[in-house]
Amino acid sequence: MSAPLPPIGMLAELTHRCPLQCPYCSNPVELLKANRELDTETWLYLFRQAADLGVLQVHLSGGEPTLRRDLEQLIAGLAGRGVYTNLITAGVGIAEGRIEAFAEAGLDHLQLSFQGARAETTDRIGHNRGAHEKKLETARRTVAAGLPLTINAPIHRHNIEQVPEFIKLALSLGAERLEIANIQYGGWALLNRDALMPDREAVMRQAEIVEAASAKLAGVLNIDFVTPDYFAIYPKPCMGGWARDAFMVAPDGTVLPCHAAHTIPSLTFERFGEKSLGEIWEDSPAFNAFRGTDWMQEPCRSCERCEIDWGGCRCQAMAIAGDAAATDPACIKSPHHARMAAFVAEAQAAAAAHDASADFHYRRITAGHEAAKVKA
């Protein structure tokens, strides 16, 4: 295998703390407390190494990254190295004047999530009363500060029929971009799969609505559509391909190829500080485990798509096939592909029996290993 090219993108999960408790969150079910987070100087040192390594853009995420009191300093550190910064926020509880401070520090873009296009949906999914109005105010302040705005709409059973309303919402707020992001089933979303899975007819209607709106609003609103793996024929490349051009860093400095890589028990991931970013990117056995195509089994190895999807999602293969090297079950060529439809059918049966939203496992930091189960 040839030496890897330098990475160009990085996701920095600055904290797992969050005022919302969304049951679809991609964070691990065992969340890290504040005392496990890297301090300011360590994050700044890490960002300097990332820039030296070739990273051009950093997505500042969480949890809720604005809970970090040093966020302005972190943004300024990246801006000073010419690195593009995108703040991914829930937009709840941001103090007056702080968005303007982010812009002054050099922030390039803000991505704001809405759990629903309607207030009652946002408040129920996020388990935070009044969250919707706070998000609307964050959007207005972002545009007023001169920052480009993306509205992120994580889609699942409980808001999929609101896609036309999400489009109207993004237009009304002056957003430049709308991401219709069907949730991916890892972390808390996997725990809540039965309660969140939409039916196939709703997914097809959604795709038609997005296609028509994208054509109609070309040049006005850029609409990105993240297709749902459980209804796909072919998989998506995970993070552009495992350790191919991007990586993520957890709040404690653990460096990972993707959000859910820690769910693969055969791999051990290193922390920044114990090794440099360059050493981890180039030499880590975990990063090299599924890099390129040499690791692939059949039918992936001889597939004409092997350098298009790069094998798809290794974590999904682990979760569904029990083998991280197996063909992603989202692929129609996978012997496990039928299990995706079976999971959809099971979710529909559960929804028909009762209100599945009453079974949400809401995201929260707990002392134990069991996720808290709270009634909606």
Structure confidence by residue, pLDDT tens digits, 125-171:
999 999 999 999 999 999 999 999 999 999 999 999 999 999 999 99
Is 22 marked within a binding site?
yes
26 domain-assigned: yes
pTM: 0.94
In a shared domain, residues 62 and 210: yes
356 domain-assigned: no
Listed in sequence order, the residues at least 6 apart from 206 whose beta carbon sits closer than 8 Å to its beta carbon are: 155, 160, 163, 180, 182
- What is the token pair recorded at 311? 């094998």
Structure confidence by residue, pLDDT tens digits, 290-336:
999 999 999 999 999 999 999 999 999 999 999 999 999 999 999 99
Alpha helices (runs of H) in the chain, residue ranges in sequence order: 40-53, 71-80, 98-105, 119-126, 131-144, 163-172, 187-191, 193-196, 200-216, 277-283, 285-288, 314-321, 337-353
Q: Is the pLDDT of residue 370 over 60?
A: no
Rg (CA), the chain: 20
In a shared domain, residues 142 and 243: no
What's the half-sphere exposure (Cβ side, CA atoms, 13 Å) at 202?
A: 18
Residues above pLDDT 90, as percent of the chain: 89
Q: Is the pLDDT of residue 371 over 60?
A: no
In a shared domain, residues 179 and 308: no
Is 25 marked within a binding site?
yes
For the chain, the average pLDDT equals: 93
Query: Sheet holding 222-226: strands in order across?
Result: 222-226, 177-182, 149-155, 109-113, 84-89, 57-61, 9-13, 246-249, 255-256
Report the CATH number at residue 220.
Answer: 3.20.20.70
Instruction: Quote the CA–CA distance of 332 and 249 in Å, as a whole number.
Output: 32
Q: Is the pLDDT of residue 348 over 80?
A: yes
341 domain-assigned: no
Among 188, 215, 231, residue at a domain's last position: 231
Structural domain of 313:
238-334
Listed in sequence order, the residues at least 6 apart from 208 whose beta carbon sits closer than 8 Å to its beta carbon are: none
What is the predicted pLDDT for the residue at 356? Answer: 63
Q: Is the pLDDT of residue 376 over 70?
A: no
- What is the token pair recorded at 227? 């297709």
In a shared domain, residues 259 and 131: no
For the purposes of burial, counting CB atoms within 10 Å of the CB of 298, is it exposed (0-12), middle (13-18) or buried (19 or more)? Answer: exposed
In a shared domain, residues 176 and 257: no
- What is the token pair recorded at 39? 């301090």
In a shared domain, residues 32 and 142: yes
Structural domains in the chain (count):
2
Give the residue-averaged pLDDT of 367-372: 41
In a shared domain, residues 171 and 269: no
User: Contact at 8 Å (CB) between 132 and 114?
Assistant: yes
Instruction: Quote the CA–CA distance of 89 and 114 in Å, as a whole number.
Output: 10
Task: List the single range of 111-120, 154-163, 231-240, 268-277 with lowest mean pLDDT.
Answer: 231-240
358 domain-assigned: no
- Look at residue 335 and give its three-state secondary structure: coil
Structure confidence by residue, pLDDT tens digits, 248-285:
999 999 999 998 999 999 999 999 999 999 999 999 99
- Look at residue 84 and give its three-state secondary structure: strand
**Residue whose token pair is 């957003």:** 175
In a shared domain, residues 37 and 94: yes
Give the residue-averaged pLDDT of 48-59: 98
β partners of residue 224: 179
354 domain-assigned: no
* Residue 374's pLDDT band (cuts 50, 70, 90): very low
Residue 304 identity (one-letter amino acid): E
In a shared domain, residues 132 and 270: no
Task: Of 37, 35, 49, 88, give the one whose Cα is nearest residue 66.
Answer: 88
Length of the chain: 376
Instruction: Quote the CA–CA distance of 252 and 249 in Å, as a whole number.
Output: 8
> How do beta strands 57-61 and 84-89 pair?
parallel
User: Contact at 8 Å (CB) between 14 and 301?
Assistant: no
β partners of residue 58: 10, 85
* Residue 1's pLDDT band (cuts 50, 70, 90): low
37 domain-assigned: yes
Listed in sequence order, the residues at least 6 apart from 14 whose beta carbon sits closer than 8 Å to its beta carbon are: 37, 43, 60, 61, 62, 63, 65, 68, 71, 74, 251
Structure confidence by residue, pLDDT tens digits, 188-206:
999 999 999 999 999 999 9
